[in-house]
Amino acid sequence: MKILFAAPENAWGGFLGLLRAEIPEHQYEATGGFKVDDLKGVDVLIPTMCRITDDILAQSDKLQLIQQCGSGLEGVDIKAALARDIMVANVPTDISGNADSVAELGIYFMIGLSRNVHQLAKSLSEQRMGEPQGRALGGQTIGIIGLGGIGRALIKRLKPFGVRLVGIKRDGREAAKNELGLEWVGGSEDLKELLAISDHVVLALPVTAESKNIIDADALSAMKKEAFLINLSRGGLVDHDALKEAFAGGEIAGAGLDVFWEEPPDPNDLIFRYNVMATPHIAGSTDVSMRGIVKGVTENIRRVASGRLPLFLKTD
């Protein structure tokens, strides 16, 4: 089978090379960039960050499976794919080790922002020892929006820090509260309550029509002025312009961003002039996560090659 990787050859920690080593019997091709120009002859598409529209799918003549190398499928027109009898699957964060890796980066952001990491190099160069004074993570309130694989992994790792944990979940809130040991779990209608009490607001939910720009100007104005926003999920959850305006107006203290409104982001974007810890979408890019994702993608390609249904298929 021909497998098309919609990214540069060595992107995502050399994912394509790892996949090729697992199942060398197939033909592999990388597009060289985050784009798809031609699907002719392709059996399996790994879309990475590319938008896969119906117009692109119309070019395919034998595509059987769109298999994401991770969990995010917001760029894929799943309905259009299914209408063309093309299967769509991902590798859920909680089975690949991805959620654990993302959670670790979330804690890195929390500690870095609380300890004024942006000021440390300046203090050191100016020989100002003991400055700046930071805030201990213990005792802070962490508000987690989205209690799926990433949210749960984050909760597990945060408990030893002695923080107060609250969350937002679409359904099954009481069960989640009891199972995860959270102080409070609300629904989407309770978002502003969570924002008002949290020292760190963590986004760990997928982008949908309902969640797009969930952090808009109103949401940002509801946050504490000394609070931090951490986005571990997708850039589309945050209104880019509203975030810049919130920084300019002193409405929030800082942000930890692993994902952006466009990827890669413009390095000259004004947002980076503020107290922003930024990483290039590497939250899930670890040795553990990569092994788990390669394992999941390998299994589904083997299933398609042998005429079996892949795992973790999307139905709508």
Beta carbons of 203 and 237 less than 8 angstroms apart: yes
Phi, psi of 306 (to 5 degrees): -100, 10
Q: How wide is the angle at C-alpha 89 spanned by C-alphas 206 and 6, nearest 5°? A: 85
Annotate 16-74 with DSSP letters as a single string.
HHHHHHH-TTSEEEE-SSS-----TT-SEEE-TT--B-HHHHTT-SS--EEE-SSS--T
- Phi, psi (degrees; rounded to nearest 5) at 60: -75, 145
Residue with tokens 């000021």: 119
Can you say whether the dihedral through the CA atoms of 113, 262, 151, 170 is positive or negative? positive
Question: Which residue numbers are catalytic?
Answer: 234, 263, 281
Instruction: Tell whether omega for the bond before 206 is within 30 degrees of 0, i.e. cis.
Output: no
CA 81 to chain centre: 23
Residue 38 near residue 60, CB atoms below 8 Å? no
Across the beta sheet with 141-145, the strand order is: 184-186, 164-168, 141-145, 200-203, 228-231, 254-257, 276-278
Phi, psi (rounded to 5 degrees) for 119: -95, -10
Distance of CA 160 to the CA centre of its chain: 24
